């Protein structure tokens, strides 16, 4: 598959706003007994959404699939606490949060762990969109989203070329 070549940089302000918009959407789906954040990208929206929805039980699951922009085998580095798995099996509402769904490979692995949970991401690409129950913004498959924690301020050359 060709690498995503359209950069889509997201600022902290924008990310906060989009995560809040997701919290508004999720409000009517709850109340949730717990949030499971998919580390590491899901930790930031999970904190914002937990604050908005007043959820205080936060768990993480560590799934690693990318080395820079190329996807490799999915490795589960930290699994989900048995209390949360039991809550999901008993019909309590559990919310899974990630920053984005791309191919859907990560979502598929975590969904299998919590089959009844509501799965939400801030951003979604078409290939993985059907793996999530809620998201805010869709971008094309050939877009690469740059999150604010991966960015730094740097000089931008003028559009017309030359220097300023």
Binding residue ranges for Mg(2+):
99
Q: How far apart are CA 158 and CA 164, in angstroms?
A: 7
Q: Does 102 bind ligand HPA (CB under 6 A)?
A: yes
Going by the annotation, the residues of the binding site are 40-41, 98-106, 144-145
Among 19, 122, 128, 132, binds ligand PRP (CB under 6 A): 128
Contact of residue 145 among ligand PRP, Mg ion, ligand HPA, none (CB under 5-8 Å per partner type): ligand HPA
Q: Are 127 and 113 in contact (CB under 8 A)?
A: no
Q: Does 17 bind ligand HPA (CB under 6 A)?
A: no
- Specify whether 99 is catalytic: yes
First to last CA, the chain: 38
Q: Which residues of 74-113 are buried (b: 16+ CB within 10 A; e: fewer)?
A: eeeeeebeeebbebbeeeebbbbbbbbbbbbbbbebbbeb
Q: Which is nearer to ligand PRP, 3 or 163 (CB)?
A: 3
Q: Does 145 bind ligand HPA (CB under 6 A)?
A: yes
Q: How far apart are CA 67 and CA 94, in angstroms?
A: 29
Q: Does 18 bind ligand HPA (CB under 6 A)?
A: no
Find the shortest distance in angstroms from Cβ 164 to ligand PRP.
Answer: 33
Q: Which residues are catalytic?
A: 98-99, 102
């Amino acid at each position: 598959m060709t690498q995503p070549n359209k950069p889509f940089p997201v600022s902290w302000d924008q990310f906060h706003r989009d995560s809040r918009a997701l919290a508004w959407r999720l409000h009517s789906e709850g109340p949730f007994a717990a949030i499971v954040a998919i580390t590491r990208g899901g930790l930031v929206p999970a904190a914002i959404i937990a604050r908005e929805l007043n959820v205080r039980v936060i768990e993480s699951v560590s799934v690693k699939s990318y080395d820079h922009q190329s996807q490799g085998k999915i490795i589960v580095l930290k699994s989900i606490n048995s209390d949360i798995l039991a809550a999901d099996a008993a019909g309590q509402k559990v919310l899974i949060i990630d920053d984005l769904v791309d191919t859907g490979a990560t979502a598929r692995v975590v969904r299998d762990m919590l089959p009844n949970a509501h799965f939400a991401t801030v951003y979604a690409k078409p290939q993985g969109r059907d793996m999530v129950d809620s998201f805010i913004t869709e971008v094309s498959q050939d877009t690469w989203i740059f999150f604010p924690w991966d960015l730094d301020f740097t000089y931008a050359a003028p559009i017309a070329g030359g220097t300023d």
